[in-house]
Every structure is written in structure tokens, then in C-alpha cells.
Amino acid sequence: MESQPSRPKETVFRLADIEVEQSQLDDKIVGTFRFESSAPQKHGPMLLAITEINGTGYVYDQLIDVINHEAEKSRALTIGVDADPVSRFEKIVQNINRAVADFTAHEPTPINWTRVNMFLLELSQGHVCLTGVGQLMNMFLQQQEDGTFKTYDLFGSLEQPPDTDPEKLFRAIICGDMNVGDVLIAGTRNLERFRHELRLKERLATLPPVAAAQDIKQELERQGVPDDFVATIIACLPADETRATAAPAPAAPAKGLCTASIEKLREAEADAGRQTGPMILPSSSQATGGRHQDTGKGEPLAPFLQGALGIVGRVRRMVTREKVRDVAMMTSLRGMNAGFGTFFTRKRKTILMAAGVLTVLIIGGGSAIKYQRNAAAERAAWNETYDQARATIERASGEDVYSEERARRSLAEADDLIASLTEVTDEQKEALQTLRDMAGGLREKLRRAVVVDQPAQLYALPDGLPDGTLVSPIFFKGSLVAADRSSNALIVINLETKEAERIALSVGETAHITAIAAGQSSVIVALDDGSLLATNITNGQTAPLTLGDGEAEAMTDITAYGSRLYRLDAAKGQIWRYPSATGGFGAEQSYLQAASTNLNDAVSLTIDSNVYVLKANGTLVRFFSGGQDGFSLPAIDPPLTNANALWSADDAESQYLAIADKTGKRILLFTKEGRLAAQFTSPAFAGPTDLLADEASKKLYAVDGNKLLEIPLP
């Protein structure tokens, strides 16, 4: 932590805790313990203890109680002492070490110190002191003058001896300034596996500590990982800063496309009701016994209907009217020789014909209205399905940002909806073509296809050699180094001048190079007979390296991480770990402790803070601390069924994983959150077999048909 003179005179620490309990097993003890003033106006430094013990024995509970009791007592004794923060913290650590030593001297139960991970921090005015034993996840974000953040492994800066001494448990102390804007998160080691999924750096750099803690907790609970997570976020702020966070105004409910289609359906139904109501319902004057009753429906047809029904009424009354029984009139009619009169006079025939026409009109109109209503309902249903399909495609496009798997499922749902729509009218055909174009564009986007017309060639072996002769490209001291298995030589390429140099190796007639790795001062060469060489690419000198004996059989792949060598052994389905030793590497240790996947078909491995292993069938598995977690690659188009090589930078901050697919003649680039970033294809590809990348210069280098090609990263 570098000191910066622009720090305000008064600062304050804001803390937020993260606790997620989802483990089904009671196999460890985790927790944070805070010691501070209980008064409303808190004063004095704050002491913080973060603990993760991989065991649940009674002795570990007692150990925590001893440390907590002594920490609280020592803080109370030193809070009023006028001393610099370093001296005060040294006194607290000295008292805790003495208390632990007394406890272990009288405790009959032995303590396995390799299970204990505990760090103590004291936070005072713009100052942080810490000590610890073991390992815990941590990320220190130091704000720069331009507002950006640099990330440091603060706990990793604490030098610890290889063996724990209970007589002096906490041996080393580091202290430094923590300025305004700086943020520190510290917690259980399992958080390291989800550094990228949880977007820790982004959340800590943009959110207040409480909001960041809440987001991280919700994301852990959403993922449902069966483990317990504990962490504390510490942010340094100006002492006079006041934060008034207004509750966000409730958002107006968004009117989605599906809602709009339903409202259109209701409007269509209401419109059909307004048109059909007057012809189906009786007129208002008849329904109310002559009193006017405004129904609000069908006023334009009411006079016509009322007049027509009036004619029918008069016809009915004329047919049922009683004959005149006036005797004088009857006598008069006989006297005039009127003969036998008929009821169907011209006037009455006209009325009856009008009534018949009216009846036909009513029946035909009712049928037409029914057809119109059915057609309107079908159009509304079609429009609703269309709107739903369009909304599903748009939802899939939004889901692509967070989960390709969900986006693909939504796109498949949209395809089913599109298939259910008919194409009767030209308007429907045009609308459906628009949907198909949208779905096709999203499908192509999900493929993340990047076509490289003509990749640049850096180096090539002579023609006629079998594929797989040029192998295992690595970066070493600014150069790109690859192995030529046909002549057991190293190819060293200067990336600035593009010049290549060959270094011949003396390995005998029967042994051949399997893989190479970047060591501390030389290139480590692994041979298929299980032996190792160290090659100085500056002077070309080669010397054998020792390798601890054990059960290992195959030298499938190797990589160096930290001060250890990791060896992938497909024959045994195991990863072997070798510590650094004089003249080579020491005793063999099995890295895998629990794995649900058989690694007998493994082809490649790479390490950042996690260990990634690629299998020949395209499956990628991830391990942390010897145990397999639930990481997997998403389904892609076309599916990945064959794989040859895997690459990732050994920096935990790197964001990419790359896979060479010789059968598919492509290179797949994934983010470490498990999202497909790009599929590189080229008409020039014969079938990539190995690869590596430089994220800083945005260059990807691939071995393709014994040619070394350079491809720009997106």
C-alpha cells in the first residue's frame, strides 16, 4: 500500500459483512470478529479477526476463544496509549502470541496448524496493520489519481515461514496507509473460485460497501453453491462525508409487448360489441317499456331497427285484428256484390315481403357479425403470438449479456412460436420474415463467429512432417518459444523482429519432447520418458532436472505455477504436484483429492488461481484446493465434441480461456465466467492443435498444421 499525500486529514472506515450459509456439512469453522468501542460515538482503533478453520474439533473452538479474549483485552489496554499504530499493534500481537503459546502448552489435544487460516487487522485513522497465518481470499483496490483502481494481494505480501510455530503463531506484521477511495475485501478461500462470477472488482469499485456486500450475498444465494461464505468489505471514506440515500421512486410498470397485445384483443372485442350489440339486443324503448334507456351501443342503427320492428308489430296486429261485426256494414258489402274478399291485399303483401327481407337481413347480418368476431379473435390471437415471439427474441438478446444458456433456451422458445404462426396474408408473411431475420441474427450473434481471412504466419516447419510436430508454445522472457518434436529442438521467436532461432537438445534417440513450460530462469522441457531438462535460451545450454519419484506414469502436459511444477498424468487420471528443490523438483504429491470426473482422457491443463483440465471430448473441468467445483462450458453451435489444447494466463486477473479444436478447424475463446467470447475460423486453417494468447497486446498465437500463426483478439 503506497502512501499518497492527497489524503484528507480525517477519514473513517465503513465495514460491511457477507455471510452465506449453504453448506450441507458441518466441516469447518468460519467467521469474522470485530472489536470496537460500544459507545454511540466510537473512538479508538478497530480490531478485526477473520477466521477459516477446516475442522470442527473442540480444540479449534477453544483456540478461537483464546485469541478473541486476548484480542479484546489487549485492545482495551492499548486504546488509551499514546503510541503510533505500529507499536500499538505489535503489543496486541505479542499478547495474543503469548496467550496462544500458553494455551497450546497445556492443551493435550494436538492442533493441525495446516487447517488454521486466520488474519488480524487493526484499522485506525487512515492506517491498516495486519498479521496472519495460513491463506484467505483478499483483494485490495487502491484508487489512483485518475479514478481507476490497482488490485493487490495484500495478505500475500505477508511473509510467512513454511512451518507454523505455536510459540509465536503470528510472526510477521505489515502496516500501511489506507486512503480515501481504497477498498479491501477479505474472506474465506472459497470466494477465490468465484472472483470473476461475482464481479468483485467491478462491484467494489462502483458500489458503497453495504450495497456491494448485499449484491455479492444475493448472487451467492442465487447460484446455490453448497458451501459457507464469510467476508468483510472495508472502505476508507472522508470523516465528514454524509450519505443520504433516497429510496428510489417506484418504477411505473412497463407496458410489455404481451400486455399491449392483450389490450388490443380487448379493444377488438369492445369494438365488435359496439357493432353487434344493437342488432342482437332489443331496442331501448321496447326493453324498458317505452322509457328511453341509453346503453351506449349501436345508436346509429336504433331508428332503423325500431322502425322495422314497428312494421312487424303492425303486421302482427293486422293479422290478429278481429273482424268488424257491424251488421249494417256487412249488409252493405253484400249489396255491393263484393264477393269473397282476401286477406292478402297488396298492402299486406308488401308488409309481409318487407318483414321477410328484414328477417333474412337479420339472420345474414348475425352470421356475418359472428364470422367477423371469429376472424377478429383469430387476428388477435395471431397478433398475441407474434408479439410474444418478438418479445421472447428481445428477451433472449438481453439474456445473452448474462447467460448464453438462457438466451439459447429463449431463442428455441421463440422458434416454436414462429413455427405455430400461419402465413395467410402478405402482411403476415412480411411480419413473419421480420421475426425470422431477428431470430437468425441473434443465432449468429450467439455463435460469436469471427472469420480470419488470412492470419499472419510467424514460423513454419518443413512440409511433409505429421501434424503435432510443432507443439507447446509458451511466452518466456519476451520471446515466443515452441518445441519441434521431429528434431528435439526449441524454436525461439523474437516477437519484435519476427526472427526465429533453433536450439538443439541432446535427449537421446528414443526420447521426444512432450511439452515445455516457463521456469524461473530457464525453459522446462518434459520428455515422454518422464525426465526433465532445463534449457537456457540465451546461451543454448541444457542441463537435466531432478524430479521426485512416485506413482506417476504419463507426462501428458506440464505447467509451472508459483514455485511448483504441475504434471498432468492421463494414464493415472491424476495431477501430480512437485515443490521446487535444489537442482529440480522434490517429492511427488497428488493434487486431486475429490473429483467426479475421470481424467483418463485429459489432454491439457492450465492454472491461474484455479486448475483447469481439458478432456479430449471437449469437456472442461475446474479444481480448487484439490476439489472439483461445478464449472462447465456452455452449449455452443456447433457443439464442441473434440479438443486438443487449453490455454489461460497464470494471472488470476486474466479474463480468457482458449481451446484449440482441430476437428472443427476453429479456436474457441471463453471468458472465465463460462461465456463464449469468439469462435475463430479461417479458410487457411488446416486444424489448430495448440495455442496461447497475449491479452495485453491482444494477440492470439496458434499452431496449425505445423505453422505458427498470429491472430488478433477482438
Taking residues 553-571, what's their average pLDDT? 94
pLDDT given at position 262: 45
Name the band, by pLDDT with cuts 50, 70 and 90, for residue 370: confident
Taking residues 239-264, what's their average pLDDT? 46
Reported as a single tens digit per residue, the pLDDT across 467-477 is 999 999 999 99
pLDDT given at position 446: 86
Judged by average pLDDT, the poorest of 132-136, 263-267, 621-625, 651-655 is 263-267
Taking residues 64-80, what's their average pLDDT? 88
pLDDT given at position 342: 56
pLDDT given at position 477: 92
Q: Is the pLDDT of residue 587 over 90?
A: yes
pLDDT given at position 267: 57
Taking residues 76-91, what's their average pLDDT? 81
Name the band, by pLDDT with cuts 50, 70 and 90, for residue 331: very low
User: CB count, 10 Å around CB of 293?
Assistant: 10
pLDDT given at position 689: 96
Q: Is the pLDDT of residue 285 over 60?
A: no
Q: Is the pLDDT of residue 11 over 80?
A: yes
Q: Is the pLDDT of residue 686 over 90?
A: yes
Taking residues 549-567, what's their average pLDDT? 94
8 A C-beta contact, residue 137 and residue 186 = yes
pLDDT given at position 37: 73
Name the band, by pLDDT with cuts 50, 70 and 90, for residue 270: low
Q: Is the pLDDT of residue 491 over 90?
A: yes
Name the band, by pLDDT with cuts 50, 70 and 90, for residue 81: low
pLDDT given at position 39: 59
Percent of the chain with pLDDT over 70: 82
Q: Is the pLDDT of residue 414 over 50?
A: yes
With cell 384483443, the residue in question is: 265
Q: Is the pLDDT of residue 143 over 60?
A: yes
Name the band, by pLDDT with cuts 50, 70 and 90, for residue 658: very high
Q: Is the pLDDT of residue 340 over 50?
A: no
**d(C-alpha 193, C-alpha 675), whole Å:** 16
pLDDT given at position 398: 83
Q: Is the pLDDT of residue 315 over 50?
A: no
**d(C-alpha 441, C-alpha 238), whole Å:** 50
Taking residues 604-609, what's their average pLDDT? 94
**For residue 606, what are the contacts with CB-CB under 8 A and spacing of at least 6?**
559, 612, 646, 647, 648, 650, 657
Q: Is the pLDDT of residue 310 over 80?
A: no
Name the band, by pLDDT with cuts 50, 70 and 90, for residue 43: low
Judged by average pLDDT, the poorest of 94-98, 335-339, 341-345 is 335-339
* Widest pairwise Cα distance in the chain: 152
pLDDT given at position 630: 84
Q: Is the pLDDT of residue 287 over 80?
A: no
Q: Is the pLDDT of residue 286 over 60?
A: no
8 A C-beta contact, residue 128 and residue 175 = yes
85 φ, ψ (degrees, to nearest 5):
-55, -35
Alpha helices, DSSP H only, in 400-425?
A: 404-419
Name the band, by pLDDT with cuts 50, 70 and 90, for residue 552: very high
Taking residues 300-326, what's their average pLDDT? 45
Question: What is the pTM (predicted TM-score) of this model?
Answer: 0.52
Q: Is the pLDDT of residue 706 over 90?
A: yes
**d(C-alpha 55, C-alpha 53), whole Å:** 6
Average of per-residue pLDDT values in the chain? 83
The more confident residue out of 304 and 50 is: 50
Name the band, by pLDDT with cuts 50, 70 and 90, for residue 241: low
**For residue 484, what are the contacts with CB-CB under 8 A and spacing of at least 6?**
461, 469, 470, 490, 491, 502, 513
**d(C-alpha 545, C-alpha 556), whole Å:** 18
pLDDT given at position 157: 83
* H/E element, 307: helix 302-320
pLDDT given at position 378: 86
pLDDT given at position 275: 47
The DSSP code sequence of 444-497 is HHHHTEEE-SSPEEEEEPPTTPPTTSEEEEEEETTEEEEEETTTTEEEEEETTT
> Which of 299-308, 392-401, 559-568 is predicted most confidently?
559-568
Q: Helix, strand or coil for residue 287?
A: helix
Q: Is the pLDDT of residue 493 over 60?
A: yes
Q: Is the pLDDT of residue 317 over 60?
A: no
In sequence order, what are the beta bridge partners of 558?
567
467 φ, ψ (degrees, to nearest 5):
-60, 145
Name the band, by pLDDT with cuts 50, 70 and 90, for residue 510: confident
53-55-61-64 Cα dihedral, nearest 10 degrees: -10
**d(C-alpha 619, C-alpha 413), whole Å:** 26
